[in-house]
Structure 1
Amino acid sequence: MSTCTAASLAWAEPLAGTAATARTWLLVEQPGPWGAKALLRSRLDPEVGAALSAAADGSAGVRVALIRRPGRTTGGRRAFLAHTAPGNAWIRVLADTDPARLTGLDFARLAQGHHDGIGEPYDGAPLVLVCTNGTRDRCCALLGRPLAAEVATAGGADVWEITHLGGHRFSPTLLTLPHGYAYGRMTPVGVKNTVAALARGRVALEGCRGRSTWDRPGQAAELAVRALIGEEGADALTEVITSRAQDATGEGAAWTATVSHADGRRWSVTLAEGPTGAAAPASCGAAPAPVARLTARAMERLP
């Protein structure tokens, strides 16, 4: 059976710069089955789901998803708020909350990193969220659910299934919070290393797709600088600013990114995205389309 993950792997599609973009995440516990558009097709009141979706769409920077424990177990009505920006990464937990109350949150404030005392500080094990929504893409179910169950059994992390992280073709995919680093093509050993690094405030680079705080060129630029200098501290790289640039090759889009370190060092990274000539589906059932590669073509240490 041909899958989108097999096609992506066959063409060696890069992972860097493919994470979903969100400075703040709102995760709502919702046991039971999920549809492809889970906020509207689940046991969550569809009016509440539509209101949450509209609030997120209208706020630049907040992403809403449903979560559940591995194994489709029934549960309560917790919700997590997590902000991912360096120096201000936090998680707040709302216990036994009515999802309808979440529609009244100030999404603009949340996007800016202000929780305003909502909920309680989360002090549990690192949050690991594995995409398992098979109605959106079968790879997420076939590969994500067994991984989520195995990681939950292994311990050391607070593991949840999540409705959508983008990039089905990189399954199994997961998100770690509070720093917002996303991963693809994960294995149990890879997750173990990722969780161990997260517990020490560090970033495991193997399989890393990027930090959701940044736009996608910014994600790729940050990971390129990390690889260049061997930096693993989660909040060591404090700011990434990207701007569109002229691609000298004329083959596709281009960006320039400035990446800043907490110690004052800065780098300029030139990135370009262009087609490879290969065609592969973005998800199972989708028509094959040219695969684009986002690559860092040059890096320069700034004064």
Structure 2
Amino acid sequence: MSTCASASRELSEPLAATAAVASTWLLIEQDGPWGAKALGESHLDRATGRALDAAAAGTGVRVGLIRRPGRHADCLPTTRHEVIVAHTVPGRGWVRRAQVTDPAELLELDFTALGSGDHTGFGTEHVGGPVALVCTNGRRDRCCALQGRPLAAELAAAAHSEVWEVTHLGGHRFAPTMLVLPYGYAYGRLTPVTAKEVLAATAAGRMVPEWSRGCSGWGRPGQAAEHAVRLATGETAVDVLTVTQRPDGEGRWLVGVLHQDGRAWEVDVIEAFSSPPRPESCGKAPVTPSRMDVLSVRGV
């Protein structure tokens, strides 16, 4: 049976610069089943879910639900909700966590401040190793359930890192997909072996370009430029590259990439569209997805 993920693989669609863009992630534990639009279709109070979604709009904060890997019967509502807030802009990142009895308490947060990188003293600093967030929401796309849930279960059983299932990371056709904190790199088309390699690299302060979809802290042109510089230099250390992007005409950007050692590059990035058409999600009509192509990388 053809799926959006199998079509994307067969067409060799590039992974780079496809990560969901979010400067900050607000992740709320919610057990039980999830619907396609999980904030309003789960055991989370619907009014609270809608209000959280509205509060995050335009702030750079992306709200998602998380749960531990395993079976998710229609159980009793969660009484204590683990909450993880992560700012993923390289060089300025942090991860904070707390527990709440009612997610409505989170509406008191300053979402604008969170999006700009100010945690406002929320919770306590995360201590420990990487946090793996594997997209598993089959109600949104079957590829995420068929490929994501077994991956999350195997990673959890290996006790390699802290593992959560998450409602949506974007890019169903790159399943199984995983976002890794604290650095905010998203990965796609993982296997249990490559996912464990990614988590080991993250624990060592490195990322893995081969499976990287980009750092969520950058816009898509910035993700493309950072990836191109990493390929050109072999640099895999996290938090050593920063990017600044500026428009350079319709669908085109000049992106400055600066290494902490003083090296700098200018990267020419253009938006293109993949053909032939393919579904971005199972059951959807075929489209020509946007991609970011790097035209040149110049040292400055």
Could you tell me how far apart the structure 2 residues matched to 1:289 and 1:12 are?
15
Gapped regions of structure 1 (runs ≥ 5): 248-252
CA gap of 1:26–1:267, structure 2 versus 1, over 3 A, is same
Residue 78 (structure 2) pairs with residue 79 (structure 1): no
Could you tell me how far apart the structure 1 residues matched to 2:10 and 2:64 are?
30
Residue correspondence of structure 1 range 108-119 to structure 2 within 5 A: 108-119=112-123
Asked whether the 8 Å contact 1:13–1:291 carries over to 2, the reply is: no
Residue 135 (structure 2) pairs with residue 131 (structure 1): yes
Amino acid at match of 1:242: Q
Could you tell me how far apart the structure 2 residues matched to 1:23 and 1:13 are?
25
Could you tell me how far apart the structure 1 residues matched to 2:100 and 2:272 are?
47
Amino acid at match of 1:152: A
Counterpart in 1 of 2:292?
Answer: 294
Residue 98 (structure 2) pairs with residue 94 (structure 1): yes
How far did residue 276 of structure 1 move?
A: 4.0
Could you tell me how far apart the structure 1 residues matched to 2:146 and 2:272 are?
31
Aligned-partner SS, 1:95: strand
Counterpart in 2 of 1:250?
Answer: none
Could you tell me how far apart the structure 1 residues matched to 2:171 and 2:240 are?
26
Aligned-partner SS, 2:288: strand
Could you tell me how far apart the structure 1 residues matched to 2:218 and 2:71 are?
32
Counterpart in 1 of 2:66?
Answer: 67
Amino acid at match of 1:62: V
Counterpart in 2 of 1:37?
Answer: 37
Asked whether the 8 Å contact 1:79–1:97 carries over to 2, the reply is: no
Aligned-partner SS, 1:193: helix
How far did residue 244 of structure 1 move?
A: 2.1
70-79 or 260-269, larger mean C-alpha shift: 70-79
Counterpart in 2 of 1:212?
Answer: 216
CA gap of 1:86–1:274, structure 2 versus 1, over 3 A, is closer
Asked whether the 8 Å contact 1:273–1:293 carries over to 2, the reply is: yes
Could you tell me how far apart the structure 2 residues matched to 1:240 and 1:66 are?
29
Residue 190 (structure 2) pairs with residue 186 (structure 1): yes
CA gap of 1:63–1:293, structure 2 versus 1, over 3 A, is closer
Counterpart in 1 of 2:203?
Answer: 199
Counterpart in 2 of 1:240?
Answer: 243
RMSD, matched Cα:
1.4
How far did residue 47 of structure 1 move?
A: 0.7
Give the 4+ runs in structure 1 shifted more than 4 A: none
TM-score (norm 1): 0.94
Asked whether the 8 Å contact 1:182–1:210 carries over to 2, the reply is: yes
Counterpart in 2 of 1:140?
Answer: 144
Could you tell me how far apart the structure 1 residues matched to 2:90 and 2:211 are?
20
Asked whether the 8 Å contact 1:94–1:120 carries over to 2, the reply is: yes
CA gap of 1:227–1:97, structure 2 versus 1, over 3 A, is farther
Amino acid at match of 1:241: T
Gapped regions of structure 2 (runs ≥ 5): none
- Give the one of 233, 244, 257 matched to 1:259: 257
TM-score (norm 2): 0.95
Counterpart in 2 of 1:158?
Answer: 162
Counterpart in 2 of 1:175?
Answer: 179
Aligned-partner SS, 2:276: strand
Residue 134 (structure 2) pairs with residue 107 (structure 1): no
- Give the one of 225, 232, 242 matched to 1:228: 232
Identity, in percent, stands at: 54
Q: Number of residue pairs matched?
A: 295
Give deviations 1:102-137, integer Å, cap 9, x for gaps: 011001111111112210111122100000000000
Could you tell me how far apart the structure 1 residues matched to 2:84 and 2:53 are?
16
82-91 or 39-48, larger mean C-alpha shift: 82-91
Amino acid at match of 2:2: S
Asked whether the 8 Å contact 2:135–2:167 carries over to 1, the reply is: yes
260-269 or 141-150, larger mean C-alpha shift: 260-269
How far did residue 193 of structure 1 move?
A: 0.7
CA gap of 1:292–1:51, structure 2 versus 1, over 3 A, is closer
How far did residue 89 of structure 1 move?
A: 1.4
Asked whether the 8 Å contact 2:18–2:291 carries over to 1, the reply is: no
Give deviations 1:66-85, integer Å, cap 9, x for gaps: 00000146763110011112
